Amino acid sequence: MDLTSPWLILLLPLASAVLITLFTQRWPRLSAGLSIAAVAGAFAVAASHLGAVLHGENVVLTGHFTWLAAGGHDFHYGYLVDGLSMVMLMVVTGVGGLIHVYATGYMKDDPGYARFFAYMSLFMFSMLGIVLADNLFQIFIHWELVGVSSYLLIGFYYRKDSASAAANKAFLTNRVGDFGFMLGILMLYFATRSATGSAGAGDFQAMAQAVANPAWLHAAVFSVGGGHWTLTNEHFLWIAGALTFMGIMGKSAQFPLHVWLPDAMEGPTPVSALIHAATMVAAGVFLLGRLLFIYMPSPTALSIVAHVGAFTAFFAATIATTQFDIKRVLAFSTLSQLGYMVMAMGLRGTDAAMFHLTTHAFFKALLFLGAGAVIHAVHTNDVREMGGLIRKLPFTGWMFVIATLALCGVPPLSGFWSKDGILHLTEHPPGYAHTWIIMLLPTITAVLTSYYMTRLVLLTFFGPPRDHHRYDHAHEAPLNMTLPMAVLCVLSVIGGPLLLGPEVLEHFRAITRPAGVPEQHYVALDAETALHALVIFGLGAGSALLAFGLRVIDPDKVKAALGPVYRFIDNRWYIDELYAWIVKNVQQNVARLCDAFDRYVIIGTVVNGSAWTTRAAGSVVARFQTGSVRAYALLFLAGVAALLALNL
Amino acid sequence: MEALVFWIAAAAMVGFTLLTIAARNPVYSACFMILSFAATAALFVLLDAYLIAAVEVLVYAGAIMVLFLFVIMLVNLRESEHEGLRLNPLMVLAAGTFLALMSRAVKDLGSAVQEAPNALVGTPGTLADTLFSRYAVPFEAVSGLLLAAILGTVVLARRKEDA
Amino acid sequence: MNAFLHDWVLTLILAVPCVAATLLFLVPAERKGLVRTLGVGSALLTTLLTAWLVFSYDQQAAGFQFMQKLPWVASLGISYQVGVDGMSVAMVLLTTIVFLAGALVSCGIQSRTKDFYILLCALVAGVFGVFVSLDLFFFYFFYELAVVPMYLLIGYWGSTNREYATMKLTLYLTAGAVVALVGLLLMYFTYGHATGHYTFDYLEMKRWVDGGAGFSRATQLSLFPLLLVGFATIAPMWPLHSWSPGGHAAAPAAASMMHAGVLMKLGSYAILRIALPLMPQGAVHWLPWVAVLCCFNIIYGGYVAMNQRDMKFVIGYSSSSHMGYVLLGIASVTVLGTSGAVFLMFAHGIMTALAFALIGYFYDQTHTRMLDDLGGLMQQVPFVGVLFVMMAMASLGLPGFANFASEMMVIVGSWERYPIPTILALFGLVIGATYLLRTVKAAFLGPKNPRWDGLRDAKTPLERSPFVLLVGVLLVCGIYPAPIVSLIETGVAPIVHTVQAAQAAMGG
Amino acid sequence: MITVQHWLVLSGMVFTLGLCGVMMRRNVILVMMSIEIMLNAANLALVAFNKHLAPVAGAVPPDGQVLVFFTIAVAAAEVAVALVIAMLLFRRLDTVNVDDVANLRW
Amino acid sequence: MGDATTSRLLEVFGTEIGLGALAVLLIVVDLLKGKGRLTGPADAVRLTAFVGLIALLVHAFTLHPAAPGALGTLDAFSIYWKRFFLLTATAVLALSGPYEARLPAGRGEFPALVVFTTMGMCLLASVSDFVTLFVGLEVVTVTTFLLAAWRSALPRSIEAGIKFVIIGALAAAFMVYGIAWIYGATGSFDFAVVRDALARADAAGGPSGALKFGLLLVLVGLGFKIGAVPFHVWIPDVYQGSPTPVTAFLSVGSKAAGVVLLMRFCWDVLGATAQGHEWLLLLAGLSALTLLMGNLGAIPQTDLKRFLGYSGIAHAGFLIMALATHTQDSAGAILFYLLTYLFANIAAFLVVIVVSRTADNAHMDRVNGLAERSPFLAFMLTVSMLSLAGVPPLAGFFAKWMVLRAAVAVPELLPLVILSAVMIVVSLYYYLCIIKRMYMREPIDAGVLEVPGGARLVLLGCAVASVLFGIWQAPLVEAARVGAAALH
């Protein structure tokens, strides 16, 4: 096999996962080495195609084999390397590789060290499968595999009840999303099946071509489910889009399927960094990009996407302001940022979304790694037990601060470029999204982001230490943890045009923009934009500083003043409670009802009833045999009489 | 003349039969039954079945009934154990139905039978010829049956002390 | 040798368990080692034969192969006729694998080992017989033969409420079987009446049907439900399922494995093999009802499973839920969906066999399967735990396991025919994930219950082999399903085309 | 004139009386006597039928009377057997009442 | 008796004559032994009986159908049954071996009576007129009366005898009365004449009331013999009370004799009339009642023999269904059915004899935990029960299959077929209950059971036959087919 074959990108992590599981469990170091080597290899293979993709306008690499075929349906397994996937490949393997290195330090004393790396490799395989997939079904397969790797990694500390509960929650929430996703896939597949000719089932390129064909797009009606329903093209597109988007909402934790992500912080911190910040949750955004050709012709579908994204961004940001668990704050922040990306997709800003995805991967991973280093040092997640750690962990602290600034969009850090690109989109939203949610909430969210991140930094690293015992034992992380942080820090800082130069950035945008997406022009760094960004940052950071740094405002008084509003936000808008209520009172009762029906009606009444009736009939019949021979004679005669009466 | 004999004998047969099944004392029953059989024998004579009539008297009224009487004596029921007629409505219904259905059969006899009696059919000679030619098999079988019955009754009656 | 095998392989596959059972009779009951060796040896031998069969089946030629026909009772139109198409090859393979795993798992049985293996062999012989018979008499003969040994297997070696469960199971299945029997006999008579040739020869009837003659529409409409209800009892189709969870729960490991893994497949197999191709118009008329009822299987079964506290009941109801997918795939009569159904029969067979083998393994030690009593077993028995998680993942339709591929085939295949049941089936996957993950968590994850400190994990290769075998098959067929699917397709496609042609004719 | 119907009705009445006897009497011996009455009625019917058969080819063979012979012989055997069992019953249980022997039931 | 008659007698009734002679010989041997003049093994009588029966059985296999003629018929059908009855008698004698200890007196006469009964049965296989039918039937009935009461020390044996006698004599009275009416309506006792009369009557708008009356009463008498409801009343009590070998004899031989006569009745007497709606419905109704009563009644039973009695009624229901079907296929099915029934029932009763050896009754508790006490016996009883239940690969399965296969050819019988199918399930229930007792219950009597060698051999033979003919049915089916083909 060619050493640059994209198959290798999939095979290496898979091989690593299998090898570790089957053979090298007993040698943790070797396992970690295998795992890192696999990622590095995948990175190298991916990078070998970088140039081609960067320089050619439409260079795509494809390849496939038939995974399953029956009855004229060909399900392929293949790869599709284009600009969009190349960006994801680099992010996933690059950031992923760094996190692997970090994990060698973080997981050092864990008894499940080898197992951890096996899971990580499995995750890499699954994730890269999504990235490389050339058809919907393959993406679904890897979608599920990513789900299970996430399940395994969240539940890594399986001795803890909360960890396995969180893992279940993540899996199930994603399953609900995938329910819609598969329905969407079915609708799309069958609608384009005749138009895609001999291509494999759900092949992206063939589908995109088919959809681009005006004859298809303007078909009078679409039949769904073999003609059980017929839909006009507008309805068809938005319904199919919305259903597919359910899958994306699950994976990218968009409201209302976001509930699993905060709980997912039960997993080891590198996992949070890799899966729940940098890569897996971005898969939804990536898929939106892949499928944008479906959404593009349908303003309704795009509008749904944009609104869900915008609302999620705001919603998560509000919650983040109240949390005290360092990882949870970051989790909600991730939700919020994903909301931005999804919204950008809904506003047809594929390139902006992908750009933000990339930069977000850098600084959010850095934040998580920093948080991990902190947790590693003080053995708690609760910021109320921290404080002043900048003195003990100067390197980590400053890294964290830089990442925060990047996240808050302070120019000229990477976050500024990507986030402002998205905010720019909201200033002149297309007609279908011309609502206050799109126009107002993202900006408010930006302020809130600055607020909660500053609050987090202040509580964690500045001020007096609140738990001296923990403070005293804190120590800086080892090199294998700090080094990846440093690399990420560099990327976070220069991830924008500083790294690549404006031309490359433009090119980046070009390659991540699927065919048919109208080109949009983004602002360059100028004084007005920078000022705008700084004002937003200043508002948020300033209020946080007043409350938590300078102690001018007592946060408790604010809390008391806000009363129910605060409680509402603190309790995550009671969404989890609502779901718990539904699970407990609706689902559980349906289950009980079915069980009771089975127990008492089907088994108790019908089955046992007929058995009982037969036995009872037997006893009755046997009672005819009274033992009295005269009765027998009578019965005999009665039989004779009846026989004669009936037949004479 | 024949009719008169028929009616008298028929009345006797029915009457004695009724008395047989109705008598409280088994000994009386047996005696009535002998009388009933005698009436039957008379009826057989009326039907020109002389040999059968003779056998009826000798075997039935003679041998079999004596056997009955013998056993009745042997068993020697106490007076209190004599029982009378117990009519059960179900029983009456069943018997009545049977009789009613039989009367329907009587009305629809088919062509093989004629109403009036035939010429002489049953001389002992023809009877014997038939018995030993066409019915040789049942004849031999009956002998076997009687032998088996004797054997069996002897065995059963002989055993007293086994327990 | 090859030529000989070609004619005799099916008979040999059938004969090996029979001969093993007979030999076991002659072995003194005390020689348990010898008994086990014989049991496992016969399983290995059938495995070899089946492997030869699978690799020698000519997919290009398709159709029935390895045919053998001997006159049996000529005056009654009965002949011993065996042959396999792609579908039956897959089922024979399934049976063999489960048999081998079951025989290995049963090595742990201490009481009346000999009798156990005799019954197991008899059961397996019956199942093989059903899958290879091409004569309706022998089909039914083996069908019944497969049902009855289960009575003793559960009754003697079983657990929870075994006497009730085994009686219910046996009677229920026999009830279904006799309904089917009436249908089969009427079919036989109708065919004989129409053609003047009274025979139980399946192929002859099929040729007659394919040749354009076939049963009258009225006959088909009235006989099809008899066959359907009869065979669907063992499938088991809602609301005829109630024999199954209790039976699963009561049965000893190997019996549940055979029961859930193979026995339940007889029903759907019989529907596909007999009812559909011989009565295509009946199928067109009645299958929509199956599509409705299978939703109950999926959703209702899933919800009932959710409310169970006994692990085997969870898996038991989940089986009836999964069988809903099989029925949906059959009802869809599309090549994709129906092949998917057969593939799912295969996958589910392996998967439940694994489930029951695992549950049996630790139940032997814990003597409880109640979720509330268990907990944290993963720490104590990691090997069993990991395999259990894999089993659960396979069961909830995780890609990489054969179950996913087959369920996907069913769903994609039936979408165009029965969209609403398909949507429910998709929702069923959510329900399935719910109860399976909950079960995994309750039993294996979380803090360990100190009560289970003494539990022993499967350590020796012999102990591990059945589990590894089953999970390996699931993975191999799940990661690259194309070969087995194309094998199954060769068998399923003609059946589907027959029904589709009837549908076209009726619709026109 | 006395027709065949007269004979048949007579025999039927006696047969029914015998039936009633079987059902009404509790004494085993009387039950057996009732059965003898039934057999006797059957004999009467046989002889009467024989006498009234339409001649087919000249004469009527006395087949009916032959069966009467056999019936009487068989009845004798039956009675012998029945009576010996009744005697056993009396010896063992000191009763000849059939209502007292109803231990085998249900 | 003329020469022609004698030679015909010898040709057709050779077996019966042999049996009669054997019976006499047995009596003589018994007498000699009793007087101490015959030394040798204690069971010289049984030995003689065995040798004689087996010799006759061998002889029966050399029989060839004789030309139709007077006195009786010797066609393939009767030959099949003669073999069957001789086999049954041999088996019953073998069965009585382990039971002998419980027959303190009259050991010698027991085989003689069995041989007499067998003679009657064989005779019935050859009947061609109602007189022989009646007499032959009475030979069987009266001798079995005696056998039922044979354990005269036991009240229940006497009770069985008394009930059997009363109901049997009642049935005989009905039968004679019926024969009288048939005679009156047709002028003859000959089956052939009656059939011709019926055929003529059918052509002319149905038989006369008298003929129907007579036929129905004969049917009652025969129904009594096979235990058709409501003429089954004696069966449970008599089966329970009689000595076990006798019960076995009743359940197989006596029932088969009734079946033979019913087949003669349906084919040789009714002929085509039986296919008419009226008779079909009548037999179907009887079959339905019998199936219901037998199967349901068996469920609550706790005595093994009584249980087998009900089970026998249930099987009679199946046989009547085959009679109602009235095709050559169904006749073959009956012939096959009874043979499988023979193997299963003989084995069952033999097990009953062995397990109840130490007890005075045959309560089902006796088989509890039998699998522990004697795996061999438990297995044999399992085979027998499953064969009775109709489970493959046992012969009973194929028998049921044949009956049902034949029955579906008659559309009117469909409801009955369905009922019988349901009853198969019910019957499986109670047979499984026995198996349940053997394998899943604790024994009430922990001792190991000794199985005598002879019993072991018979059991093994029955089981092997059940399995062998369940799988390799062709030879028996062929024999049954040839036998059935001889019917009109």
pLDDT at C164 over 80: yes
Q: Do C422 and A186 touch (CB under 8 A)?
A: yes
Residue of D99, D100, D104 to mutate, interface with A, max A Cβ within 10 Å: D99
Q: How far is D106 from chain B (nearest CA, A)?
A: 21
pLDDT at residue A1, rounded to an integer: 59
Looking at chain A, which residue has its C-alpha nearest residue B94? Answer: A638
Residue of B47, B90, B129, B145 to mutate, interface with E, max E Cβ within 10 Å: B145
Predicted confidence band at B37 (pLDDT cuts at 50, 70, 90)? very high
Is E424 in the C-facing interface, judged by CB distances under 8 Å? yes
Looking at chain E, which residue has its C-alpha nearest residue A623? Answer: E297
Q: Which residue do the tokens 């239940």 mark?
A: E389
Q: Do D59 and B121 touch (CB under 8 A)?
A: yes
Contact (CB, 8 A) for A364 and A277: yes
Query: Which conformational region is residue B78 in: left (phi greater than 0), alpha (psi within -120 to 50 degrees), or beta?
Result: beta
pLDDT at residue B82, rounded to an integer: 58
pLDDT at residue B163, rounded to an integer: 39
Alpha-carbon distance values, D46 to A641, B113, D40, E179, E181 (Å): 21, 12, 10, 8, 8
Is E50 in the D-facing interface, judged by CB distances under 8 Å? no
Is E377 in the A-facing interface, judged by CB distances under 8 Å? no
Q: How far is A595 from chain B (nearest CA, A)?
A: 51
DSSP E9: H
The residue ranking higher by pLDDT, C437 or A513, is C437
pLDDT at residue A557, rounded to an integer: 81
CA distance A205 to A203: 6
DSSP helix/strand/coil, A79: strand
Min mean pLDDT across A486-490, C348-352, D15-19 is at A486-490
CA distance B123 to B111: 25
Chains E+D touching (3+ CB pairs under 8 Å): yes
Q: Do E233 and A625 touch (CB under 8 A)?
A: yes
CA distance E249 to E290: 21
Contact (CB, 8 A) for C87 and C272: yes
DSSP A74: E
Q: Quote the mean pLDDT of chain A.
A: 85
Q: Do E216 and A633 touch (CB under 8 A)?
A: no
The percent of residues in chain A predicted with pLDDT above 70, rounded, is 94
Contacts of A629 in chain D (CB under 8 A): 31, 98, 101-102
CA distance C282 to C217: 7
Looking at chain E, which residue has its C-alpha nearest residue C150? Answer: E432
Chains contacting chain B through 3 or more C-beta pairs under 8 A:
A, D, E
Residue of E400, E401, E412, E478 to mutate, interface with C, max C Cβ within 10 Å: E401
pLDDT at C46 over 90: yes
The percent of residues in chain B predicted with pLDDT above 90, rounded, is 26
**What is the ipTM score, two decimals?**
0.91
Q: Do A644 and B88 touch (CB under 8 A)?
A: no
Residue of D6, D33, D51, D74 to mutate, interface with E, max E Cβ within 10 Å: D74
Element (H, E) at C165: helix C162-195
Looking at chain A, which residue has its C-alpha nearest residue E217? Answer: A640
Min mean pLDDT across B22-26, C112-116, D22-26, E95-99 is at E95-99
pLDDT at residue E46, rounded to an integer: 83
Q: Do E231 and A617 touch (CB under 8 A)?
A: no
- pLDDT tens digit sequence for E365-404: 888 888 888 888 999 999 999 999 999 889 999 999 999 9
Q: Do D45 and E188 touch (CB under 8 A)?
A: no
Q: How far is B37 from chain A (nearest CA, A)?
A: 24
Contact (CB, 8 A) for E30 and E47: no
**Quick count: other Cβ atoms within 10 Å of Cβ A459?**
24
Residue of E432, E471, E476 to mutate, interface with C, max C Cβ within 10 Å: E432
Range list of H helices, A81-160: 83-106, 113-132, 136-154
- pLDDT tens digit sequence for E82-113: 999 999 999 998 888 777 767 655 567 888 99
Element (H, E) at E7: helix E3-12
CA distance A335 to A276: 9
Q: Do A639 and E229 touch (CB under 8 A)?
A: yes
Highest mean pLDDT among A440-444, B133-137, E290-294: E290-294
Contacts of D38 in chain B (CB under 8 A): none
Range list of H helices, E408-452: 414-440
Looking at chain E, which residue has its C-alpha nearest residue A629? Answer: E163
Contacts of D98 in chain A (CB under 8 A): 628-630
Predicted confidence band at A537 (pLDDT cuts at 50, 70, 90)? confident
Q: How far is C371 from chain E (nearest CA, A)?
A: 28
Please, what is the angle between helix A350-378 and helix A479-494, to 10°?
Answer: 150
CA distance A371 to A355: 24
pLDDT at residue C143, rounded to an integer: 92
- Which amino acid makes up residue C279? M
- pLDDT tens digit sequence for B96-130: 888 998 888 888 887 778 877 776 666 778 888 88
CA angle D86, D87, D91 (to 5 degrees): 120
Predicted confidence band at A380 (pLDDT cuts at 50, 70, 90)? confident
Contacts of D60 in chain E (CB under 8 A): 187
Q: How far is B63 from chain A (nearest CA, A)?
A: 27
Mean pLDDT of A401-416: 85
Name the residue among B17, B139, B145 with its Cβ closest to that of D77: B145
Strand pairing of A221-224 and A229-232? antiparallel
Name the residue among B17, B33, B138 with its Cβ closest to that of D70: B138
Between A and D, how many residue pairs show a Cβ–Cβ distance under 8 A? 31
Would you say the C-alpha torsion C150, C155, C159, C165 has a positive or negative sign?
Answer: positive
Name the residue among B109, B144, B162 with its Cβ closest to that of E208: B109
pLDDT at C508 over 70: no
- pLDDT tens digit sequence for C17-42: 999 999 998 888 888 889 899 999 99
pLDDT at residue E134, rounded to an integer: 95
Is A637 in the D-facing interface, judged by CB distances under 8 Å? yes
The residue ranking higher by pLDDT, A381 or C183, is C183
Alpha-carbon distance values, C229 to C243, C268, C276, C362 (Å): 14, 11, 13, 36
SS (H, E, C) E137-204: HHHHHHHHHHHHCCCCCCHHHHHHHHHHHHHHHHHHHHHHHHHHHHHHHHCCCEHHHHHHHHHHHHHC
The percent of residues in chain A predicted with pLDDT above 90, rounded, is 14
Is A622 in the D-facing interface, judged by CB distances under 8 Å? yes
Predicted confidence band at E168 (pLDDT cuts at 50, 70, 90)? very high
- pLDDT tens digit sequence for C179-229: 999 999 999 999 999 998 999 999 999 999 988 888 888 999 999 999 999
Min mean pLDDT across A607-616, C100-109, C364-373, E403-412 is at C364-373
pLDDT at residue B117, rounded to an integer: 77
Predicted confidence band at B162 (pLDDT cuts at 50, 70, 90)? very low
Chains contacting chain D through 3 or more C-beta pairs under 8 A:
A, B, E
Q: Do E297 and A648 touch (CB under 8 A)?
A: no
Would you say the C-alpha torsion C351, C353, C356, C362 has a positive or negative sign?
Answer: negative
Q: Do E213 and B101 touch (CB under 8 A)?
A: yes
| A564, two tokens | 């129910």
Mean pLDDT of A593-603: 89
Chains B+D touching (3+ CB pairs under 8 Å): yes
Looking at chain D, which residue has its C-alpha nearest residue E170? Answer: D35
Residues of D (71-90) whose Cβ lies below 8 Å from E: 71, 74, 77-78, 81-82, 85-86, 88-89
Mean pLDDT of E358-369: 84
Min mean pLDDT across B152-161, C468-477, E2-11, E468-477 is at B152-161
Q: Which residues of C455-476 are buried (b: 16+ CB within 10 A; e: fewer)?
A: beebeeeebbbbbbbbbebbee
Residue of E410, E434, E440 to mutate, interface with C, max C Cβ within 10 Å: E440
pLDDT at residue E381, rounded to an integer: 94
Is A631 in the B-facing interface, judged by CB distances under 8 Å? no
pLDDT at residue A501, rounded to an integer: 58
What proportions of chain D, in percent to the nearest 5, are helix, strand and coil? 75, 5, 20
pLDDT at residue E122, rounded to an integer: 94
Q: How far is A578 from chain E (nearest CA, A)?
A: 51
**DSSP count for chain A of H helices, then E strands:** 30, 4
Report how far Cα A388 is from the mean position of its chain's Cα atoms. Answer: 33
pLDDT at residue C13, rounded to an integer: 92
- pLDDT tens digit sequence for A215-266: 887 777 788 877 788 888 888 888 988 999 999 999 888 888 888 888 888 8
The residue ranking higher by pLDDT, A270 or E256, is E256
Mean pLDDT of A158-174: 89
Chains A+C touching (3+ CB pairs under 8 Å): yes
Residues of E (238-297) whose Cβ lies below 8 Å from C: none
pLDDT at A522 over 70: no
pLDDT at residue C98, rounded to an integer: 93
Would you say the C-alpha torsion C389, C390, C392, C398 has a positive or negative sign?
Answer: positive
Predicted confidence band at E8 (pLDDT cuts at 50, 70, 90)? confident
- pLDDT tens digit sequence for C58-89: 888 888 989 999 999 888 889 999 999 999 99
pLDDT at residue E323, rounded to an integer: 93
The percent of residues in chain E predicted with pLDDT above 90, rounded, is 62
